[in-house]
């Protein structure tokens, strides 16, 4: 690897539309913080950048829902997030926000530079426009009926009921959420970043020059590159964001994904107004992006393309992306409140930052998705932090106080067994370093914990409490060595468990905690007075854990209750409007999966006339499509034919939406004549 002079570490900017949860922490912030603390301990030049991502449509929607301004929303969450990070010990050099003036200026400048270099292409397209509110509608501002599951409140980008991603054109009966009016199509101009033009060098840079990236990262990039890159819009018609800084762009802002990563740079600039460029433009700087797997393509392809298009910036050297953390077997979900929220944890478990840090690292989703359970949290705390680490520290201190009034005793001649023990932890430094350098935080922490295991074993094997009756010199040596191991633990755990390390250093009156001293046995001077033993960690009892589990069960219950509520009835229509619709009864003659389409079933329907073919996107709910053959179903008979996957679909099979979002074809209970009208 190249010898870099300094390291810039960025962490995915949390979206200021909700608080931080353990998934964010495990995937991004805890590993990044460990890495940064480690580099700082080694006295390397490092800058740790964080901040809130505060633009984009979802924030405006939340604001609208609550009847406040977008600024109110981002202020609220920015403060919650910033404060919880601070309390949790994520040691950012700066945690700023994309609504800062520095960011506003820099993002504009970067856009302008790329623009002036001809790095964008301009395209005019038709988009929905709300005539009453006199503005273009972002995908999220349009609701309508989901063509897939029939949910009436699907958004223009996604149906939250069935999870399908949509485009506004897909929606049936689109409606503006701003004024409630029916939007019309209108022409609008936007700027695009032509990723396709960047494909060649990206391919070389990633696939040839960065084979060392994690398999999930490398594979995902390769997948995208092989599919071929498309131009991506970098502007939107919206009033919340950074104005597009060119003529003729009134009412347009930078698309949030364009401005957000620039936040890394502007936050650096805010911190170091005169000195920021060396962290972003010097080839001797190593740039690292810590992110979750949802952000891989963005940080490996899109953002680098932006930086390259601008021309003066360095590219990331590595993008250590983690997978996702589940909670008690289910996906973490902000909207379903299925999460352990950091700010709540900090309140409910005061002074237990390190416990969560430890558990999240021990269980980090480094190679695949992982599960967080409260039982595991309790077990890790009680069986590892308390029983192994805390217990060893306590033993060493208690013994020293008992036999030597709390002063570090002299180290006499070392026995073979002493030397053997020393051998075991001599190379801890090299091992932890090697693991951390390769972003293997889970194993690195385990290696640190191993020191405590060595200590416990040493005490058990040498039994100083027995020797105290006969050979106090020997006891002194044993305890000196034990205390040296304790001091080593304080250093080794410093990146992982900073709060406990500080507490331990206080107990040991240990001032220096230079990483380079790790592995030495002269960290504590003879005669040094130690503080009275104090527990490093305390046990977590069953009732505390049960309360947390109960809290989640309650969430689940209330989620179920809300989902089961039928939706509100749609606005009235006239009888005439209904009569325009031709709903018929038909018998399924044949039903099979459409090849090369996951969701489509192809029906052949006896409609009493010449028969018809209808496609329906319900394949995932009918693993055995043949089961439907012979059943009588209802279908819309007077939709114009539409080609799907090359097949003409002549109508729409009616299905009912279940509480879990799945679909069931509505069937006739009694035999009817094929072709009967439903009136």
Site for RNA in 571-610 (CB under 7 A): 594-600
Residue 443 interacting with RNA (CB under 7 A) = yes
CB of 83 to RNA, least distance (A): 28
320-339 binders of RNA (CB under 7 A): 323-324, 331
Q: Is 220 in the site for RNA (CB under 7 A)?
A: yes
Q: Does 369 bind RNA (CB under 7 A)?
A: yes
Strand ranges in 146-226 using DSSP code E only, listed in sequence order: 154-155, 172-176, 184-193
Residues in contact with RNA, total (CB under 7 A)?
A: 86
SS3 content of the chain, % helix, strand, coil (to 5): 45, 20, 35
Tokens for 181, please give them.
């009016």
Q: How far is CA 351 from CA 284, 354, 358, 548, in A?
A: 39, 8, 13, 17
402 forms part of the interface with RNA (CB under 7 A): yes
Q: What's CA 261's distance to the chain center, in Å?
A: 15
> Contacts with RNA in 289-308 (CB under 7 A)?
293-294, 297
CA dihedral over 351, 352, 358, 363, signed as positive or negative: negative
Q: Is 616 in the site for RNA (CB under 7 A)?
A: yes
Cβ nearer to RNA, comparing 119 with 292: 292
Which of 640/669 has CB closer to RNA? Answer: 640
**Which of 194, 251 has the CB closer to RNA?**
194
Distance of CA 89 to the CA centre of its chain: 18
Long-range contacts from 563-568, C-beta under 8 angstroms, 24+ separation: 563/659, 563/660, 564/659, 567/151, 567/152, 567/153
Kindly write out the interface string for residues 98-137 of this chain, putting x where it contacts RNA by CB under 7 A and - elsewhere: ----------------------------------------
148 touching RNA, by CB under 7 A: yes
Contact window for RNA (CB under 7 A) among 102-110, 223-231, 303-311, 560-568: 223-231
Q: How far apart are CA 241 and CA 238, in angstroms?
A: 7
- Chain residues 634-673 in contact with RNA, contact rule CB under 7 A: 636, 639, 642, 644-645, 649, 651-652
Task: Answer yes or no whether residue 376 interacts with RNA by CB under 7 A.
Answer: yes
Per-residue binding string, RNA, 471-510, x by CB under 7 A, is: ----------------------------------------
Q: Report the distance separating Cα 408 and Cα 483, nearest Å.
A: 8
Which three-class secondary structure string do you get for 297-348? HHHHHHHHHHHHHHCCCCCCCECCEECCEEECCEECECCCCECCEHHHHHHH
The SS3 assignment for 536 reads coil
Q: Is 538 in the site for RNA (CB under 7 A)?
A: yes
- Taking the least distance from each CB to RNA, the nearer of 4 and 622 is 622
Q: Using the rule CB under 7 A, which residue among 142, 202, 206, 536 binds RNA? A: 536
Residue 63's contacts (CB-CB under 8 Å, 6 or more residues apart) are 69, 70, 72, 73
Q: Is 226 in the site for RNA (CB under 7 A)?
A: yes
The phi, psi pair for 541, rounded to 5°, reads -80, 165
Q: Where does this chain touch RNA (CB under 7 A) — which range of 49-57, 122-130, 460-468, 567-575? A: 460-468
Say whether residue 227 binds RNA (CB under 7 A).
Answer: yes
Q: Compute the least distance from the CB of residue 297 to RNA, in Å.
A: 6
Among 30, 49, 138, 166, binds RNA (CB under 7 A): 166
Out of 201, 417, 465, 578, the residue judged to bind RNA by CB under 7 A: 465
List Cα–Cα distances, 9 to 36, 310, 322, 343, in angstroms: 7, 21, 15, 24
CB of residue 95 to RNA, shortest distance in Å: 27
Tell me which of 259, 328, 366, 494 binds RNA, using CB under 7 A: 366
Closer to RNA by Cβ: residue 313 or 621: 621
Q: Within positions 506 to 535, which residues make up the interface with RNA, using CB under 7 A?
A: 535
Binding window for RNA (CB under 7 A); candidates: 103-111, 222-230, 304-312, 548-556? 222-230
Shortest reach from residue 43's CB to RNA, in Å: 29
User: Is residue 84 part of the contact set for RNA (CB under 7 A)?
Assistant: no
Q: State the Cα–Cα distance between residues 622 and 41, nearest whole angstrom.
A: 57
- CA-CA-CA-CA torsion for 135, 137, 141, 147, nearest 10 degrees? 140
For RNA, the closer of residues 90 and 162 by Cβ is: 162
24 binds RNA (CB under 7 A): no
Question: Residue 600's Cα: distance from chain center in Å?
Answer: 31
Reading the block at residue 416, the tokens are 């073979």
Least distance from RNA to the Cβ atom of residue 93, Å:
30
Q: Which of 305, 386, 444, 483 binds RNA (CB under 7 A)?
A: 386
Query: Residues for the chain: how many in total?
Result: 679
Query: Which range binds RNA by CB under 7 A, 9-17, 50-58, 259-267, 371-379?
Result: 371-379
Q: Which is nearer to RNA, 43 or 160 (CB)?
A: 160
The contacts of residue 2 (CB under 8 Å, 6+ apart) are 286, 317
- The distance between the two most distant Cα atoms of the chain, rounded to a whole number of Å, is 106
> What part of residues 186-215 is at the interface with RNA (CB under 7 A)?
215
Residue closer to RNA (CB basis): 240 or 441: 441
Return d(Cα 508, Cα 407) in angstroms, integer. Answer: 10
Phi, psi of 156 (to 5 degrees): -70, -10
175 binds RNA (CB under 7 A): no
Bridge partner list, 193: 232
């Amino acid at each position: 690897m190249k010898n870099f002079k300094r390291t810039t570490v960025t962490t995915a900017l949390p979206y200021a539309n909700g608080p931080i949860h353990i998934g964010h922490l495990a995937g991004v912030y805890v590993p990044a913080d460990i890495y940064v603390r480690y580099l700082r301990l080694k006295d390397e030049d490092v800058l740790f950048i964080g901040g809130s991502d505060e633009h984009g449509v979802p924030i405006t929607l939340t604001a609208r829902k609550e009847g406040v301004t977008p600024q109110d929303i981002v202020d609220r969450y920015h403060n919650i997030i910033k404060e919880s990070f601070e309390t949790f010990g994520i040691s950012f050099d700066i945690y700023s926000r994309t609504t800062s003036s520095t960011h506003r200026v820099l993002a504009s400048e970067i856009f302008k530079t790329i623009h002036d270099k001809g790095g964008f292409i301009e395209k005019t397209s038709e988009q929905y426009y709300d005539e009453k509110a006199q503005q273009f509608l972002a995908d999220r501002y349009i609701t309508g009926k989901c063509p897939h599951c029939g949910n009436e409140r699907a958004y223009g980008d996604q149906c939250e009921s069935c999870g399908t991603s949509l485009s506004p054109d897909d929606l049936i009966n689109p409606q503006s959420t701003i004024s409630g009016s029916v939007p019309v199509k209108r022409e609008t101009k936007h700027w695009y970043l032509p990723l396709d033009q960047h494909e060649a060098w990206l391919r070389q840079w990633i696939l040839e020059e960065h084979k060392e990236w994690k398999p999930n990262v490398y594979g995902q990039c390769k997948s995208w590159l092989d599919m071929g890159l498309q131009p991506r819009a970098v502007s939107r018609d919206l009033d919340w964001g950074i104005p597009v800084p060119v003529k003729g762009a009134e009412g347009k802002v930078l698309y949030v994904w364009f401005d957000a990563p620039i936040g890394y740079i502007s936050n650096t600039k805010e911190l170091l107004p005169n000195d920021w460029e060396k962290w972003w433009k010097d080839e001797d700087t190593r740039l690292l992006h810590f992110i979750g797997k949802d952000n891989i393509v963005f940080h490996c392809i899109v953002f680098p393309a932006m930086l390259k298009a601008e021309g003066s910036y360095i590219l990331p050297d590595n993008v250590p992306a983690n997978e996702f953390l589940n909670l008690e077997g289910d996906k973490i979900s902000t909207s379903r409140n299925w999460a352990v929220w950091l700010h709540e944890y900090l309140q409910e478990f005061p002074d237990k930052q390190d416990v969560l840090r430890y558990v999240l690292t021990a269980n980090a989703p480094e190679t695949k998705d992982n599960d967080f359970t409260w039982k595991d949290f309790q077990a890790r705390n009680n069986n590892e932090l308390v029983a192994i680490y805390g217990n060893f520290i306590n033993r060493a201190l208690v013994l020293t106080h008992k036999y030597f009034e709390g002063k570090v005793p002299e180290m006499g001649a070392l026995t073979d067994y002493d030397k053997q023990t020393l051998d075991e932890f001599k190379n801890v430094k090299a091992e932890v370093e090697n693991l951390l350098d390769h972003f293997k935080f889970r194993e690195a922490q385990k290696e640190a914990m191993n020191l405590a295991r060595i200590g416990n074993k040493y005490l058990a094997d040498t039994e100083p409490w027995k020797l105290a009756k006969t050979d106090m010199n020997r006891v002194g040596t044993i305890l000196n060595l034990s205390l040296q191991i304790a001091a080593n633990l304080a250093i080794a755990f410093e990146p992982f468990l900073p709060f406990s390390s500080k507490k331990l250093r206080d107990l040991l009156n240990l001032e220096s905690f230079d990483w380079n001293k790790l592995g030495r046995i002269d960290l504590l001077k003879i005669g040094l007075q130690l503080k009275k033993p104090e527990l490093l960690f305390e046990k977590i009892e069953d009732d505390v854990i049960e309360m947390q589990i109960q809290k989640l069960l309650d969430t689940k219950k209330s989620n179920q209750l809300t989902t089961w509520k039928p939706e509100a009835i749609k606005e009235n229509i006239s009888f005439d409007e209904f009569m325009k619709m031709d709903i018929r009864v038909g018998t399924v003659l044949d039903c099979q999966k459409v090849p090369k389409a996951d969701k489509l079933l192809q029906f052949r329907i006896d409609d009493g006339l010449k028969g018809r073919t209808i496609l329906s996107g319900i394949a995932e709910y009918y693993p055995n499509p043949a089961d439907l053959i012979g059943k009588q179903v209802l279908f819309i008979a007077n939709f114009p034919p539409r080609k799907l996957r090359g097949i003409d679909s002549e109508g729409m099979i009616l299905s009912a939406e279940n509480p879990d979002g799945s679909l069931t074809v509505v069937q006739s209970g009694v035999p009817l004549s094929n072709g009967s009208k439903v009136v």
